[in-house]
Amino acid sequence: MAILRIIEAPDPELRKISKPVDGVDDELRALMDDMLATMYDAPGIGLAAIQVGVEKRVIVMDISDDDDKPLPRYFVNPEITWTSEEMTTYKEGCLSVPEQYADIERHAQCKVKYLDYDGNEQVLEADGLLSICIQHEMDHLEGILFIDHLSGLKRKMIVKKLTKAQKARATL
């Protein structure tokens, strides 16, 4: 297993629309293993393949509490088939937008259809943090970041901070 480099905004790679995969084979499972290791190492609760530079509709996730045993989840070619009218707001962060957090409004519940680690079709009804995280990761597959849900000014301030931090690191 390998820890992969996580791409950070404003890298244009993050704006790509990820492509469906043909099916789940050993090569894709190896990618999902590396993504999960990268996510745990970061640490984060979700990771989309495009965040490690792979343009595939693949997501890994684990929202279990640190004290509980790990509960890795794998979503291949996920599709949201239903969202609730009820909305919810949560302070989100993103491994590709380091150290920036903002309240984001999303659907409180959603249903998602996907292939699991073994390539079997699954449907999942999610609420709470799971529902939020699924919508956050689905956005990545469309090249959308959580900061895109903010007003122009708030977004610009965050992008400015990121660019400044990157420049500071580059001159070290």
Catalytically active residues, by annotation? 137
Which residues within the stretch 5-44 sit at the binding site for ligand GNR (CB under 6 A)?
44
By a kind-dependent CB cut-off of 5 to 8 A, residue 47 interacts, out of ligand GNR, Ni ion, none, with ligand GNR
Q: Which of 94, 133, 138, 141 binds Ni ion (CB under 5 A)?
A: 94
Q: Is residue 136 part of the contact set for ligand GNR (CB under 6 A)?
A: yes
Single out the residue of 7, 9, 68, 66 nearest to residue 40, CA to CA.
Answer: 66
Q: For the chain, state the CA radius of gyration.
A: 16
In this structure, how many other beta carbons lie within 10 angstroms of the beta carbon of residue 111?
16
Tokens of 43: 């640490």
Query: By the 8 A CB rule, do 54 and 140 touch?
Result: no
Q: Helices (DSSP H) in the chain: which residue ranges?
A: 26-41, 128-141, 152-170
The site map against Ni ion for 147-166 (x = CB under 5 A) is --------------------
34 or 92: whose CB is closer to ligand GNR?
92
Write down how long the chain is: 172
Residue with tokens 């901070």: 161
Q: Which stretch binds Ni ion (CB under 5 A): 12-20, 23-31, 91-99, 147-155?
A: 91-99
Q: What's the closest the beta carbon of residue 52 comes to Ni ion, in angstroms? A: 12
DSSP for residue 171: T
Q: Are 45 and 20 in contact (CB under 8 A)?
A: no
Answer yes or no whether residue 94 interacts with ligand GNR by CB under 6 A.
yes
Of 10, 53, 72, 93, which lies in the binding site for ligand GNR, with binding defined by CB under 6 A?
93
Interface residues with Ni ion (CB under 5 A) are: 94
Interface residues with ligand GNR (CB under 6 A) are: 44-48, 51, 90, 92-96, 132-133, 136-137, 140
